[in-house]
Amino acid sequence: MGTPHGNTPRHRREEREDQTDRMAGTDDGPEPPASNGDKVLADRLSSVRLPFLVVPLFVLAGSAIVGNATAPALLANRPLLLLALNSTTRHLLLTSTSVDVVPYAAVALLRRSLEDPLLYLLGWRYGDAAVAWTAEHLGGARTLNWMQRNFRRFGWLLVALFPGGVVCVMAGAARMGLVPFALVGFAGTVATIAAIRASGETLAGPVGALVTVVTENWVWLTVLSVAMTTAWVARRRLRRPGPESDQ
């Protein structure tokens, strides 16, 4: 007579692995049934149409490009407007010595948080296709693949450390809870802005000297920046595959 299936060494080994996964909290088995509130929220998030997500994202992307192109002029004359257009780490550091802390924090937090819910909804609505589209436009496929494979295990940590961009899309695609996503992402953004501000104040001498150089030469630096940004945008458009390349 053959050995019953439930008593084979392989079956006992699989049971032990399943028990270990459950104890470690990494089991990807069936999830508990969602409550009615969760189902209603999921239905509402899934019903968001693509134009309501893509149009604001393109507007924000366009404002970021304008901010990059005109950064020298804005840094010299309108540093707060520079943060409103594009609150990159570089711009946050350069404006840390010329903008008061309250408007600095408020504008930076608002600008950095605007696209997060849109990217989250994009991931929720379109899943892996949205992640692939974001990866194609951002590059760094190897890192993004690792993040996607490990998101269910380290998702909250990724959202806290790298709030924004493709991480928000992955959070939506993985159906991370909206409230945890919002709270962790908000805390991560606040911590990032505070750390950059503190770094700028610590390096106030070198940062101030660099800002002075930009302020004294902002006209020709702006011309150069506009030219470089235009070339960058043109290069990206030329490298984008056409419809015939997918056939």
The string of pLDDT tens digits covering residues 38-75 is 454 455 555 566 778 888 988 999 999 999 999 999 99
For the ranges 123-137, 179-193, 230-244, the maximum mean pLDDT occurs at 179-193
Angle at 112 between CA 104 and CA 161, to 5 degrees: 105
Angle at 243 between CA 242 and CA 246, to 5 degrees: 100
Query: Could you tell me if residue 244 is inside a domain?
Result: no
Query: Could you tell me if residue 6 is inside a domain?
Result: no
Token digits of residue 137: 């436009």
Query: Could you tell me if residue 25 is inside a domain?
Result: no
Residues 6+ apart with CB under 8 A from 230: 69
Expressed as residue numbers, the domain containing 114 is 36-237
Task: Give the other-Cβ count within 10 Å of 182's Cβ.
Answer: 16
Query: Could you tell me if residue 221 is inside a domain?
Result: yes
Token digits of residue 6: 């439930």
- Cα–Cα distance, 64 to 81 (Å, whole number): 11
In the chain, the number of structural domains is 1
Check if the beta carbon of residue 163 is closer than 8 Å to that of residue 89. Answer: no
**pLDDT tens digit sequence for 157-192:** 989 988 888 889 899 988 899 999 999 999 999 999
- Cα–Cα distance, 194 to 206 (Å, whole number): 19
Token digits of residue 119: 């990217």
Q: What value does the mean pLDDT take over residues 138-145?
A: 62
Taking the model in full, what pTM does it have?
Answer: 0.74
The separation between the first and the last C-alpha atoms of the chain, rounded to the nearest angstrom, is 56
**What local confidence, expressed as pLDDT, does residue 149 receive?**
79
Check if the beta carbon of residue 130 is closer than 8 Å to that of residue 121. Answer: no
Query: Could you tell me if residue 212 is inside a domain?
Result: yes
Query: Could you tell me if residue 206 is inside a domain?
Result: yes
**What local confidence, expressed as pLDDT, does residue 80 receive?**
97
Give, as one character, the DSSP assignment of residue 163.
Answer: -
**Closest by CA position to 71, among listed 210, 194, 165:** 210
φ, ψ dihedrals at 28, nearest 5°: -95, 25
Check if the beta carbon of residue 41 is closer than 8 Å to that of residue 178. Answer: yes
Query: Could you tell me if residue 243 is inside a domain?
Result: no
**What local confidence, expressed as pLDDT, does residue 125 receive?**
87
Give, as one character, the DSSP assignment of residue 32.
Answer: P
Residue 225 or residue 131, greater confidence: 225
**What local confidence, expressed as pLDDT, does residue 247 receive?**
40
Query: Could you tell me if residue 10 is inside a domain?
Result: no
Q: Which residue type occupies 41?
A: L
In the numeric block, the tokens 């999830």 are attached to 31
Q: Could you tell me the pLDDT band of residue 7, with boundaries at 50, 70 and 90? A: low
Token digits of residue 47: 């019903």
pLDDT higher than threshold 60 for residue 11: no
**What local confidence, expressed as pLDDT, does residue 141 receive?**
54
pLDDT higher than threshold 50 for residue 217: yes
Give, as one character, the DSSP assignment of residue 176.
Answer: -
